[in-house]
Chain A
Amino acid sequence: GENVEQHPSTLSVQEGDSAVIKCTYSDSASNYFPWYKQELGKGPQLIIDIRSNVGEKKDQRIAVTLNKTAKHFSLHITETQPEDSAVYFCAASRTTSGTYKYIFGTGTRLKVLA
């Protein structure tokens, strides 16, 4: 069935360093790939997304890359700050029944050490 693998499960970086989180998806029909940040006790919040017709997208310190051939996509955070500490989820989705059906990765707990 449809599956999204996410690595690593935990990641610790020094403040100011970069962090990279990688995801692999199985459904070749997936065409939309959002990333969410979840802080303790809150619901996930969309931070960046990319569509299948684009290879890279950047928003300030955050960037996402997509390799459709390999079915890989990655989140890159540069110049990390303590407030970046959270759990990050990737998702792969495709249109079905007139809407998107999202499959999420298992999450990466990012700790930024001051």
Chain B
Amino acid sequence: NAGVTQTPKFQVLKTGQSMTLQCAQDMNHNSMYWYRQDPGMGLRLIYYSASEGTTDKGEVPNGYNVSRLNKREFSLRLESAAPSQTSVYFCASITPPGRSSTEAFFGQGTRLTVV
């Protein structure tokens, strides 16, 4: 999807391994989000960032950490992967409230399998 780039697209980890999912947007948005998508459960918010240097927990933050070092990039880290973290992960970049129109862009997703 235009404007939001996620890497990698696919990843298989062994239980206990660590990895970082990368996300970058080129639309100069302040707000960025990480979601996980599981069958029958929709999109659940892991963490979000309203601006550079700030992060907040979402619905399901346990087992994850995030980093927003600059306006463009928002990374998600799994320190010790567990099978319960097998999911499809989406990064999103969304315009803030108050605008006349709202743009919401999602990345293509990262399909993560933890064995």
Task: Name A residues whose Cβ lies closer than 8 Å to a Cβ of B.
Answer: 1, 6, 9, 32, 34, 36, 41-46, 49, 89, 91, 95-107
Contact = CB atoms under 8 A, between A and B. Distances in A.
A102 B33 contact: yes
Interface residues of B, number: 31
Contacts of B31: 99-100
B11 to A, nearest CB: 16
Given A44-B104, A97-B54, A97-B56, 11 more contacts: A6-B42, A34-B104, A42-B109, A46-B102, A95-B97, A99-B48, A99-B50, A101-B48, A103-B45, A104-B44, A106-B40
SS class, residues of chain A in contact with chain B: strand
B59 A103 contact: yes
Interface of B: 1, 4, 30-31, 33, 35, 40-45, 48, 50-51, 54, 56, 58-59, 90, 92, 94, 96-97, 102-104, 106-109
